[in-house]
Amino acid sequence: MSDRTKVAIIGSGNIGTDLMVKVSRLSEHLDIAAMAGIDPASDGLARARRLKVATTHDGVDGLVRLDEFAEVQYVFDATSAGAHRRHDDVLRALGRTVVDLTPAALGPYVVPPVNLGEHLDAPNVNMVTCGGQATIPIVAAVGAVTPVHYGEIIASISSRSAGPGTRANIDEFTETTASAIEQVGGAARGKAIIVLNPAEPPLIMRDTVHCLVSDVDIAAVTASVEEMVERVRAYVPGYRLKQKIQFDTVTADDPLHRLVPEDAPGDAVKVSVFLEVEGAAHYLPAYAGNLDIMTSAALRTAESIATHRQETSR
């Protein structure tokens, strides 16, 4: 354990607790040293204590006072966009690298199979949103074959897997995801929609990705998307295509057609990809794939940063 990089988590809710369990069970490079929350009765802090992890219910202020914090190099923030701004100020001043699971987007967007290698030395990296982690790889996969004039994603999640942090950040979710569709996915324009589904029993996360392209090579796009799905499955085993990729011609009278540049070659085509994300159920229920893909992506990111920095320091 002494060779592993020490990390801490701020946020003892569902996401922070699931992340703690993943680090403890799955990571070969990270060691969870501390967890900070604001609710002394939270299940997350209770579980941390059972795992012999140092805890505090005084938030980031309590975290930095813990003796164990001296060895911490990376801090995961699993709180809210508003709280993250202060957390980043405190932690960056103390020289800690921050992996941000909120939609605050103070640091560069990171979607592991698309652009992780570009930001391994950043002091703060942003994991976009659950919808972004599930769908931006697909936009990027289509964009690797042909320019995406417009990318639209619809993330449908069980309302039971949307905690107070998610509900408080709905506006940030849509804005951050749309921005990342453009900046990371490569679409000329992006739009994001989130649906909280109250169905019982709870439904597994579903995501729909629409990409407006032109002069498309159907075989090449299909191969690119299927290869990207396998890359995501390497760290999110429950990530899968729900059905075959659809290709629909967009006629001149369709409102989408106005988003196609006048000089674009060939016919306008809407590529539609339908995904399902089932969680690994390490702590959260299996239907909460939206939370699982966030914690899995954050773990993959922190592990890659740690190994990169260890190698470059030798």
User: Residue 181 annotated as binding?
Assistant: no
Torsion of CA 306, 165, 86, 111, to 10 degrees: 30
Please tell me whether residue 165 adopts helix, strand or coil conformation.
helix
Domain 5-127+292-313 class in CATH: alpha beta
> How far apart (Å, rounded) are the C-alpha atoms in residues 107 and 58?
25
pLDDT one-digit tens code per residue, 84-103: 999 999 999 999 999 999 99
Residue-level pLDDT, tens digit, the chain, 314 residues: 457 999 999 999 999 999 999 999 999 999 999 999 999 999 999 999 999 999 999 999 999 999 999 999 999 999 999 999 999 999 999 999 999 999 999 999 999 999 999 999 999 999 999 999 999 999 999 999 999 999 999 999 999 998 777 888 889 899 999 999 999 999 999 999 999 999 999 999 999 999 999 989 999 999 999 999 999 999 999 999 999 999 999 999 999 999 999 999 889 999 999 999 999 999 999 999 999 999 999 999 999 999 999 889 87
The whole-number pLDDT of residue 2 equals: 56
pLDDT one-digit tens code per residue, 268-299: 999 999 999 999 999 999 999 999 999 999 99
| Inter-CA distances, 248 with 146, 216, 240, 268, Å | 15, 11, 22, 9
Residue ranges, comma separated, of all CATH 3.30.360.10 domains in the chain are 130-287
Which residue is listed with tokens 């942090």? 165
CATH number of 130-287: 3.30.360.10
User: Residue 95 annotated as binding?
Assistant: no
Percent of the chain, pLDDT > 70?
99
User: Residue 165 annotated as binding?
Assistant: yes
Prediction pTM value: 0.95
Residue ranges, comma separated, of all CATH 3.40.50.720 domains in the chain are 5-127+292-313
Active centre residues (catalytic): 130
pLDDT one-digit tens code per residue, 119-160: 999 999 999 999 999 999 999 999 999 999 999 999 999 999
